[in-house]
C-alpha cells in the first residue's frame, strides 16, 4: 500500500498500517481499561475537513450550512480553518458524499497516538507550541486556526491536529470498553463519541485517549465551539 493517497474529495490521506495498538488509559473512568485492539489497514485524512471543503459539499448537495455561516458562506478569512459546529449526521453525510466514512473510535485513536500508548500525538509531555487549547488560546486570543498550523504536533503517522483545535466526531456510540468497571448513564445508543479536545477545552481533554459523549444531533455551543471531523477509507476501498 502507498503511504499516502489523495482521497475522492481531493484530501491528502495517510496510511495507518494494520496491527495492534494500545487503546484507552487508566487516567479517567470512561477510558478504562487500557486494552489492545487489532485493526486492518486504513487511510485517514491528514487534516480535518475545512470550511472551504465543506462548502463544496454544500454546493453539490444543498445540505444546510452550519448555523453560524451567513448567506451560505463560511466566516471571512477562515477557508482553511476546520469546519465545526456541525452535528454527527452532517459529518456522516459529507463522508458518504466524498466516498469515505467517519472513523471508528479505535481508528481515530490509533491514528492519533500510534502503538506506544502516548498521551498526546507528539509524546507524553504537553507542549503548547504544538496545538491550540484553552491555555494558549486565551493568551493569544485564538479560536480555530488553519489546519496546516502546528505540523510539529503531528502523530507518529504524520496525521495533524488530533489534539486541540476542534473536537472530532467518530462513528461509534458511547459504550463501555470491554471489561471496564466504570458505569455511566450515558452508555448506550443515545450519545456518539467525540475525540481530541478543542481550543475551548484544556489540555487534559486533548489527550489521545480522552472520549466524550455528545448527542448526534448536537452542534456544540452556538457561534463558539462545536465538533468537526475527518474521514477514513479502508485499504481495499482505496483500490490498493
Here the cell at position 180 is 471496564
What pLDDT was estimated at residue 139? 61
pTM, two decimals, is 0.95
Domain 4-234 has CATH 3.90.1580.10: yes
**Contact call for residues 215 and 189 (beta carbons, < 8 A):** no
Q: What's the confidence (pLDDT) of residue 225?
A: 81
pLDDT tens digits in sequence order for the chain, 240 residues long: 899 999 999 999 999 999 999 999 999 999 999 999 999 999 999 999 999 999 999 999 989 999 999 999 999 999 999 999 999 999 999 999 999 999 999 999 999 999 999 999 999 999 989 999 988 766 666 689 999 999 999 999 999 999 999 999 999 999 999 999 999 999 999 999 999 999 888 899 999 999 999 999 999 876 678 999 999 999 876 555
Of the candidates 224, 232, 239, the one whose C-alpha atom is nearest the C-alpha of residue 66 is 224
- Preceding omega of 215 cis (within 30 degrees of 0): no
21, 39 contact by CB (below 8 A): yes
Measured distance CA(204)–CA(234) in Å, rounded: 30
Amino acid at each position: 500500500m502507498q503511504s499516502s493517497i489523495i482521497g475522492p474529495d481531493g484530501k491528502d490521506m495517510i496510511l495507518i498500517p494494520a496491527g495492534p495498538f494500545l487503546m484507552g488509559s487508566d487516567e479517567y473512568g470512561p477510558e478504562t481499561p487500557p486494552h489492545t485492539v487489532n485493526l486492518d489497514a486504513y487511510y485517514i485524512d491528514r487534516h480535518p475537513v475545512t470550511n472551504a471543503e465543506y462548502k463544496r459539499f454544500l454546493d453539490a448537495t444543498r445540505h444546510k450550512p452550519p448555523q453560524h455561516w451567513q448567506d451560505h458562506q463560511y466566516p471571512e478569512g477562515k477557508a482553511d480553518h476546520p469546519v465545526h459546529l456541525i452535528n454527527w449526521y452532517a459529518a456522516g453525510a459529507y463522508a458518504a458524499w466524498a466516498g469515505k466514512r467517519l472513523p471508528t473510535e479505535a481508528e481515530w485513536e490509533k491514528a492519533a497516538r500510534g502503538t506506544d500508548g502516548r498521551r498526546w500525538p507528539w509524546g507524553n509531555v504537553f507542549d503548547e507550541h504544538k496545538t491550540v487549547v484553552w491555555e494558549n488560546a486565551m493568551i493569544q486570543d485564538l479560536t480555530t486556526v488553519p489546519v496546516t498550523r502546528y505540523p510539529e504536533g503531528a502523530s507518529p503517522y504524520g496525521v495533524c491536529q488530533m489534539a486541540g483545535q476542534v473536537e472530532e466526531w467518530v462513528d461509534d456510540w458511547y459504550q463501555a470498553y470491554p471489561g471496564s468497571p466504570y458505569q455511566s448513564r450515558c452508555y448506550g445508543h443515545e450519545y456518539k463519541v467525540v475525540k481530541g479536545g478543542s481550543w475551548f477545552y484544556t489540555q487534559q481533554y486533548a489527550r489521545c485517549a480522552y472520549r466524550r459523549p455528545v448527542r448526534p444531533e448536537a452542534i456544540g455551543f452556538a457561534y463558539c465551539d462545536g465538533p468537526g471531523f475527518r474521514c477514513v477509507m479502508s485499504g481495499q476501498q482505496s483500490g490498493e
